[in-house]
């Protein structure tokens, strides 16, 4: 297997005509076969970066290489390797899903016969085949999102970029979309995902970059990033919550209501002492869960730290 990374972003900068500096020298690498999360708050520069990778936005300086092919110097060759699922619906609403997919393949130079076979395959896999001959504007929001994934698969890209593909999509459809994309990834396609649903990124992605104010503030593996989280808060459902929760060194236990306790502790702290103390008080724990999404906590912290750093520098 070739060792060429799926994507190398090299000191990419973008300043828009109105003076807004959307990217301030972004560099990152995505290895082949990765499921990579690109996260950041609104306006952080994610869509600008994706726009440059898909040639919809012209960079001010720097370059990106897709499987070693330069987006700046060999645009057409680079575009053959990419499939893009954009944030906004961007197909002709008056066309039929089948035609949208077949035409997309045509733009990539794929003969119509092969295109029709692929359209059937991907519309079926994304459970849209029964809508293939309806006008696209008649599809529901979730169907439109799935149609954009089917369309992006028409050139069977080596790198699939998904820009907030599940925005406004219900949980069932979201799960079916992730099942499909995970399958594509398992089959060898490199996937880059931006999303505001951080639990999705935590479950699906192996590596992550967090971008804020046009700068990468973190770029590491999901495991390493989550290991940085030193404090966790658990919600405990109990038979009856004592008025005076147990006092334990390194653990803060709060009574939320008569059946709920909250325990905040260092990640290194064991849970046995907490259970033992609760048992001693005659409290039975019926269930337990993490209070917040771990990635979400880290994300907020990293973005806030980045902003504080910028304010201090200013």
Q: Which of 79, 139, 241, 303 is the binder for other proteins (CB under 8 A)?
A: 79
Measured from the Cβ of residue 25, the count of other Cβ atoms closer than 10 Å reads: 14
Least distance to other proteins from the beta carbon of 156, Å? 13
Bridge partners of 15, per DSSP, are 21
- Cα Rg for the chain, rounded, in angstroms? 23
Where do we find the tokens 């990635």?
295
Beta bridge partners of 26: 12
State yes or no: residue 138 binds other proteins (CB under 8 A): no
Regarding 110 and contact with other proteins (CB under 8 A), the answer is yes
| Cα(42)–Cα(77) distance, integer angstroms | 31
Under the binding rule (CB under 8 A), the answer on residue 21 touching other proteins is no
The C-alpha atoms of residue 63 and residue 53 are separated, in whole angstroms, by 9
Question: In angstroms, what is the minimal distance from the CB of 122 to other proteins?
Answer: 15
Q: DSSP assignment, residue 136? A: G
Listed ranges 34-42, 74-82, 243-251, 278-286: which one lies at the site for other proteins (CB under 8 A): 74-82
For position 311 contacting other proteins by CB under 8 A, the verdict is no
The sheet carrying 7-15 orders its strands as 21-30, 7-15, 61-66, 69-70
Binding flag, residue 196, other proteins (CB under 8 A): no
Binding mask 42-71 for other proteins (x = CB under 8 A): ---------x--xxxxx-------------
- The residues of the shown chain that bind other proteins, judged by CB under 8 A, are 16, 51, 54-58, 75-77, 79-80, 82, 84, 86, 88-94, 99-100, 103-104, 106-113, 151, 155
């Amino acid at each position: 297997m070739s060792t060429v990374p799926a994507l190398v972003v090299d000191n990419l900068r973008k300043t828009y005509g109105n003076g807004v500096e959307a990217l301030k020298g972004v560099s990152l690498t995505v290895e082949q076969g990765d499921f990579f999360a690109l996260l950041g708050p609104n306006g952080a520069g994610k869509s600008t970066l994706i726009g440059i990778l898909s040639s919809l936005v012209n960079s001010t300086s720097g370059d990106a290489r897709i499987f070693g092919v330069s987006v700046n110097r060999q645009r057409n060759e680079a575009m053959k390797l990419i499939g893009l699922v954009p944030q906004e619906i961007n197909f002709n609403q008056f066309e039929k899903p089948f035609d949208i997919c077949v035409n997309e393949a045509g733009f990539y130079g794929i003969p119509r016969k092969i295109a029709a076979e692929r359209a059937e395959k991907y519309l079926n896999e994304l459970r849209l085949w029964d809508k293939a001959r309806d006008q696209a504007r008649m599809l529901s929001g979730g169907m439109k999102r799935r149609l954009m994934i089917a369309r992006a698969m028409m050139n069977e890209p080596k790198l699939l970029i998904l820009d907030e593909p599940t925005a406004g999509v219900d949980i069932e459809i979201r799960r079916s979309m992730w099942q499909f994309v995970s399958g594509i990834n398992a089959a060898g396609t490199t996937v880059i995902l931006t999303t505001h649903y951080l639990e999705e990124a935590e479950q699906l992605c192996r590596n992550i970059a967090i971008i804020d104010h046009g700068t990468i503030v973190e770029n590491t593996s999901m495991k390493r990033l989550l290991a940085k989280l030193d404090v966790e808060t658990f919600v405990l459902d109990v038979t009856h919550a004592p008025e005076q929760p147990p006092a334990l060194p390194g653990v803060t236990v709060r009574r939320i209501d008569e059946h709920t306790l909250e325990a905040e502790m260092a990640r290194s702290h064991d849970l046995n002492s907490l259970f033992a103390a609760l048992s001693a008080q005659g409290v039975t724990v019926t269930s337990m869960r993490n209070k917040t999404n771990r990635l979400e906590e880290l994300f907020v912290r990293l973005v806030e730290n980045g902003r504080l750093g910028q304010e201090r520098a200013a």
